[in-house]
Amino acid sequence: MTQDKYELLRDVFGYPGFRPGQEALTDALLSGRDALGVMPTGAGKSVCYQLPALLLPGVTLVISPLISLMRDQVNALIQMGVRGAYINSALSERQCRKALDNACQGMYKIIYVAPERLPTPGFQRLAQEVEISMVCVDEAHCVSQWGQDFRPSYLKIPEFIAGLPRRPAVGAFTATATRQVREDIAALLELEDPEVVVTGFDRPNLYFGVERPKDKYQALREFLLNRPDRPGIVYCLARKTVEEICGRLCSDGFSATRYHAGLEAEERQRNQDDFLYDRRRIMVATNAFGMGIDKSNVSFVVHYNMPKDLESYYQEAGRAGRDGSPADCVLLYNGRDVRVNQYLINQEEDKQELDPETKASLRQRQEERLHRMTIYATTLECLRSNFLRYFGETPPRSCNHCSNCLYRSEMVDLTQEARSACAFVGRNRSRVGLHLAAAALRGSKENRVVRLRLTADSDYGSLGHLSLERTEALLRELIERNYLARDDGEYPTLTLGSEARELLSGGDRVQVNLPKEMKPDKPVPTEALPADPELFRALKELRMTLARKYGVPPFVVFTDTALREMSAQKPRDMQGFGRITGVGEVKSQRYGKAFLEVIAEYL
């Protein structure tokens, strides 16, 4: 192989450079080492194994749980000029045999395969006959019982690898970042001293919002009207809701389609394609839709119901803005969603043929995750900071790009108030709880305040200018930052925390995220205007024509980001065209002339 990894990245994939984490994972796999990549959806996991696959001898197997995922990935590879194939139950017996024969003759560099296929005789023959230099496990969290998508067939993977004539490098990739799942992946897939890369989970181009509308449908309708022509997904918990919402949207004149596991396979495929090929703008679906759908121009993901955990939420919401453009992720929350999820957890338990102990602990984990999701849906703190902490990061306290930071809460300097509160607690150590302290600080005349003579304290009433909600929020914040502490005696009371001295001696400043006291503004839709709208539109039309001609979804030809860049840079020759992100050699040859013509005509 004469090309090096940078050339391949540029010429085949059309990327100007590696994104964070990609190079370390690529290098590890290239040197024959195992690797574990934990990156959020849209970060670019596929190139981490596709690129080494092209440089290593023999063939790479990619084990992947979903048929639609394989088809799209392989289509995209073929578009880039890479010899790829997939083997799964979507192929007929004959097609399957043909693919295996081709594979045995070394026709492919990358083969996607469903885990259930690994033990079959045809596949076992392949495994013995061709050199498999790398095995990559996509959506690797499916191996863990603690993950949100446990698949028992994933547990068979190590056995398959152990049966190979030579142990290949093993790569595992997931977007699920909790430590337990990560450890499970390494242990259950028997990774040997893997290079572990966990990249930041933040996706700065995504706006996060939680709304609690009285009428969810009207809120959705308004949201969609604010974003004419933008493609996006609406997730619902139940099939029934999908049917209802899709029906209402269609009769309200929106271009919508639907997807859930209760539809015939043929309709599912058709509806999915309508969305992928930009024939329908809105996909209304249950969580059955989307794993592996990497339509890059999804501009919003609305959750009509709260999903069962933050892992699912972030994975589904993360399908927005994969091309790096600004996109909106909005959850329409209602307390009923919690009960429906609880019901679903109970249902699931009935179905599992597991021993009672495992059942009980699985259920407990699910309930904990649901609780954590509910906190996200109801918190006042920065939403981004809330989920990033769940994924093990230490983000800034405020992102200024979520509904809480922008509309529901504000950072307020409460240093003076914090000092008063600490001084008050210092004088009344272990006598008052949080609510009573808040009441006294605000100057309440309620019975217990008077009885405990808190009215005589020098800080009685000193926080009278704050609402009760704000005062309690301040006290909770002071506990979290160790200025105050809880004293869990017979009744939980407050005492001074380890940092109190610093605050009382005038050292620290205290800024707190508090509920806004004015009426929240309406969220403004995020706009991602192309640099030159008219040219962008012309390029999109050409892309649609080419996509039809080659029978692939438009984004497989070029992503919206690539078109936007073209419309901004207006390249005049092949060289300039080749510099656009996402334009590799094969695509340049295949499409360059046509796109350059449209640009020239426009100029």
Three-state SS at 297: coil
Q: Report DSSP state, residue 340.
A: H
What is the C-alpha end-to-end distance of the chain, expressed in Å?
A: 41
44 forms part of the interface with ligand ADP (CB under 6 A):
yes
Among the residue ranges 36-44, 339-347, 431-439, 455-463, the one whose residues contact ligand ADP (CB under 6 A) = 36-44
Question: Within positions 190 to 229, which residues make up the interface with ligand ADP, using CB under 6 A?
Answer: none
Work out the number of other CB atoms within 10 angstroms of the CB of residue 251: 9
Q: How far is the CB of 521 from ligand ADP (least distance, A)?
A: 32
Q: How far is the CB of 72 from ligand ADP (least distance, A)?
A: 9
Q: Tokens 């207006």 label which residue?
A: 570
Q: How far is the CB of 582 from ligand ADP (least distance, A)?
A: 6
Judged by beta carbon, residue 22 or residue 385, the one nearer ligand ADP is: 22
Structure tokens given for 212? 């609690």
39 forms part of the interface with ligand ADP (CB under 6 A):
yes
41 forms part of the interface with ligand ADP (CB under 6 A):
yes
10 forms part of the interface with ligand ADP (CB under 6 A):
no
Interface residue with ligand ADP, options 5, 24, 27, 46 (CB under 6 A): 46
CA dist., res. 380 & res. 396, Å (int): 15
Q: How far is the CB of 441 from ligand ADP (least distance, A)?
A: 49
**Bridge-based pairing state of the strands 35-38 and 300-303:** unpaired
Judged by beta carbon, residue 19 or residue 486, the one nearer ligand ADP is: 19
In the shown chain, the binding pattern of residues 323 to 352 toward ligand ADP, with x for contact by CB under 6 A and - for none, equals x-----------------------------
Q: How far is the CB of 352 from ligand ADP (least distance, A)?
A: 29
Q: How far is the CB of 198 from ligand ADP (least distance, A)?
A: 13
Count of residues that bind ligand ADP according to CB under 6 A: 19
296 forms part of the interface with ligand ADP (CB under 6 A):
yes
49 forms part of the interface with ligand ADP (CB under 6 A):
no
Judged by beta carbon, residue 173 or residue 390, the one nearer ligand ADP is: 173
Q: How many CA atoms are closer than 13 Å to the CA of 523, on its beta-carbon side?
A: 27
560 forms part of the interface with ligand ADP (CB under 6 A):
no
Interface residue with ligand ADP, options 287, 462, 567, 581 (CB under 6 A): 581
Judged by beta carbon, residue 40 or residue 115, the one nearer ligand ADP is: 40
Work out the number of other CB atoms within 10 angstroms of the CB of residue 170: 22
Judged by beta carbon, residue 34 or residue 565, the one nearer ligand ADP is: 565
In the shown chain, the binding pattern of residues 418 to 437 toward ligand ADP, with x for contact by CB under 6 A and - for none, equals --------------------
Q: How far is the CB of 323 from ligand ADP (least distance, A)?
A: 6
Structure tokens given for 114? 């469903």
Judged by beta carbon, residue 142 or residue 338, the one nearer ligand ADP is: 142
Q: How far is the CB of 14 from ligand ADP (least distance, A)?
A: 8
Three-state SS at 36: strand
CA dist., res. 570 & res. 597, Å (int): 11
Interface residue with ligand ADP, options 43, 220, 317, 437 (CB under 6 A): 43
Q: Report DSSP state, residue 322.
A: T
Structure tokens given for 284? 């209304």
Question: Within positions 297 to 326, which residues make up the interface with ligand ADP, using CB under 6 A?
Answer: 322-323
19 forms part of the interface with ligand ADP (CB under 6 A):
yes
Interface residue with ligand ADP, options 12, 15, 79, 406 (CB under 6 A): 15
Q: How far is the CB of 432 from ligand ADP (least distance, A)?
A: 51
Judged by beta carbon, residue 405 or residue 583, the one nearer ligand ADP is: 583
440 forms part of the interface with ligand ADP (CB under 6 A):
no
Interface residue with ligand ADP, options 8, 25, 30, 47 (CB under 6 A): 47
Residue showing the smallest CB distance to ligand ADP in the complex: 44
141 forms part of the interface with ligand ADP (CB under 6 A):
no
CA dist., res. 278 & res. 298, Å (int): 10
SS (H, E, C) 76-135: HHHHCCCCEEEECCCCCHHHHHHHHHHHHCCCCCEEEECHHHCCCHHHHHHHHHCCEEEE
Residue type, position 297, single letter: N
Q: Report DSSP state, residue 148.
A: S
Judged by beta carbon, residue 397 or residue 579, the one nearer ligand ADP is: 579
Q: Which helix (H) or strand (E) holds 54?
A: helix 46-55
What is the DSSP annotation of 205-222? Answer: TEEEEEE--SSHHHHHHH
Residue type, position 104, single letter: C
294 forms part of the interface with ligand ADP (CB under 6 A):
yes
379 forms part of the interface with ligand ADP (CB under 6 A):
no
Q: How far is the CB of 465 from ligand ADP (least distance, A)?
A: 48
Cβ atoms of 63 and 141 within 8 Å: the answer is no
Structure tokens given for 489? 């005696």
Judged by beta carbon, residue 408 or residue 543, the one nearer ligand ADP is: 543
Cβ atoms of 514 and 473 within 8 Å: the answer is yes
Is the C-alpha dihedral spanning 502, 508, 514, 517 positive or negative? Answer: positive
Answer left, alpha or beta for residue 194, where phi above 0 means left and psi between -120 and 50 means alpha: beta
Q: Tokens 């069962």 label which residue?
A: 308
Burial category of 264 from C-beta neighbours within 10 Å (exposed 0-12, middle 13-18, buried 19 and up): exposed
Among the residue ranges 44-52, 217-225, 240-248, 447-455, the one whose residues contact ligand ADP (CB under 6 A) = 44-52
Tell me the angle at which helices 310-317 and 356-378 cross, rounded to the nearest 10 degrees.
60
Interface residue with ligand ADP, options 45, 203, 408, 470 (CB under 6 A): 45
295 forms part of the interface with ligand ADP (CB under 6 A):
no
Phi then psi dihedrals of residue 456, to 5 deg = -90, -10
Residues 122, 123, 125, CA angle at the centre, nearest 5°?
70
Among the residue ranges 17-25, 216-224, 354-362, 467-475, the one whose residues contact ligand ADP (CB under 6 A) = 17-25
CA dist., res. 542 & res. 566, Å (int): 13
Interface residue with ligand ADP, options 8, 12, 18, 577 (CB under 6 A): 18
Binding site for ligand ADP (CB under 6 A): 15, 18-19, 22, 39, 41-47, 294, 296, 322-323, 559, 581-582
